Structure 1
Amino acid sequence: MTASRDGLLEELVREMPWYISASMRFQMAVADQLDMPLADVHAIGALVEFEPIGAARLAELMGMTSGAVTRLVDRLERGGYVRRSPDPADRRRVVLRAVPERVAEIGRYYASMGESWQRQLADCSDEQLRFLVEFLRRGRDDTQRETARLRSDGRAHGTRRRREP
């Protein structure tokens, strides 16, 4: 690697936490506009990404206890953001699905961000765009692995304090 490439990689690694932090602040602002807890906004995102999904899987993704995720789903159902329905593969089980019309209403808060990204990416080549898509997918996978590692090696999920065996 050349010195300039090393410098660019270091700069990228330094900038990534600030990008993530700014994204989290944006998510908090969206939650404020929707007058809902940040966890609820993130749960809607998880539902859209992984649906149909059971409550246990949602609790795992969110790092919440089963009781906490039940209350979260109850709030989202009352707000019309989620529907519970029988699992087609196992009718004893219930799966959760986001309500597309309500998700679209949330989408309006992301529209200007999407337009900004479109402008930034307009001059990128197909190769650059493919790279960015792959970078984001790998980053998401890495983040999910690190989240799982933290929850298994650090504090137990859904708790404030790790219980000793």
Structure 2
Amino acid sequence: MAAAPRELLALLQQFTVETDRYVDTVSVRDDLHRTDLNALGIMMGAARAGVTVTPGMLRQALNLSSPATTALIDRLGQAGHVRRSRSSVDRRQVHLEMTEKALDTGSRLFAPLAREVEAALSGYSPTQIELLSDMMRKVTAATVQARQQALGGPPE
């Protein structure tokens, strides 16, 4: 492997470590479990995509057991971050909705990080941002594929 890709991989690894450290810092400061923050992040992404979140979806996305998923949803509900509702189509199915408190908490926790990253990217042209975005999409897809392979399943 050439030196440039090796350095880029090292920088991506360092970015991942620093992102994890940031999440650990804000989760401890606000008495939230890391899994709770991950669940809220998944729910925010689903909301942006117009996808309804169910307990099963969270269980699969977070690789949790059913009891652990129930405990997670109970914690988020008790903290006022998530509201459960029944599907109007199939009353057996539970839908999960983020509350305003969850959105406010997420904003408060991640706005500083977003501001800093936005400032770091501000010197790049729109063409460079598109190139970096394309790279990150591909790196993310490669990471998902590697995770699937590590689980012994087919690539997504």
TM-score, normalization: structure 1? 0.80
Aligned to 2:26: 30
Aligned to 2:128: 128
When residues 147 and 98 of structure 1 are mapped into structure 2, their CA distance, relative to the original with a 3 A threshold, is farther
Listed one character per residue, the Cα deviations across residues 24-46 of structure 1 (whole Å, up to 9, x for unaligned) are: 11111111011021111111111
Question: What is the CA–CA distance in structure 2 between the aligned matches of 1:21 and 1:122, rounded to whole Å?
Answer: 23
Question: What is the CA–CA distance in structure 2 between the aligned matches of 1:99 and 1:143, rounded to whole Å?
Answer: 30
Q: Which amino acid aligns with 1:92?
A: R
Q: Is the 8 A contact 2:80 2:99 kept in 1?
A: yes
Aligned to 2:14: 18
Question: What is the CA–CA distance in structure 1 between the aligned matches of 2:63 and 2:116, rounded to whole Å?
Answer: 32
Which of structures 1 and 2 has the bigger CA Rg? 1
Q: Aligned Cα RMSD in Å? A: 2.0
Listed one character per residue, the Cα deviations across residues 70-95 of structure 1 (whole Å, up to 9, x for unaligned) are: 01100101111111112344332111
Question: What is the CA–CA distance in structure 1 between the aligned matches of 2:134 and 2:101, rounded to whole Å?
Answer: 29
Question: What is the CA–CA distance in structure 2 between the aligned matches of 1:90 and 1:122, rounded to whole Å?
Answer: 47
Aligned to 1:83: 83
Aligned to 1:42: 38
Question: What is the CA–CA distance in structure 2 between the aligned matches of 1:149 and 1:120, rounded to whole Å?
Answer: 33
Question: What is the CA–CA distance in structure 2 between the aligned matches of 1:68 and 1:131, rounded to whole Å?
Answer: 39
Look up the SS of the partner of 1:85 in the other structure. Answer: strand
Q: Is the 8 A contact 2:80 2:101 kept in 1?
A: no
**Offset, 1:142:** 2.6
Look up the SS of the partner of 2:91 in the other structure. Answer: strand
Establish whether residue 67 from structure 1 lines up as the match of residue 63 from structure 2: no
| Larger RCO, structures 1/2 (Cα 8 Å, 6+ apart) | 1
Question: What is the CA–CA distance in structure 2 between the aligned matches of 1:64 and 1:35, rounded to whole Å?
Answer: 20
When residues 39 and 20 of structure 1 are mapped into structure 2, their CA distance, relative to the original with a 3 A threshold, is same
Question: What is the CA–CA distance in structure 2 between the aligned matches of 1:21 and 1:108, rounded to whole Å?
Answer: 21
Q: Which runs of 5+ in 2 are unaligned?
A: none
Look up the SS of the partner of 1:83 in the other structure. Answer: strand
Aligned to 2:3: 7
Establish whether residue 92 from structure 1 lines up as the match of residue 92 from structure 2: yes
- Aligned residues between the structures: 149
Listed one character per residue, the Cα deviations across residues 104-140 of structure 1 (whole Å, up to 9, x for unaligned) are: 2232222222222222211211111112222222333
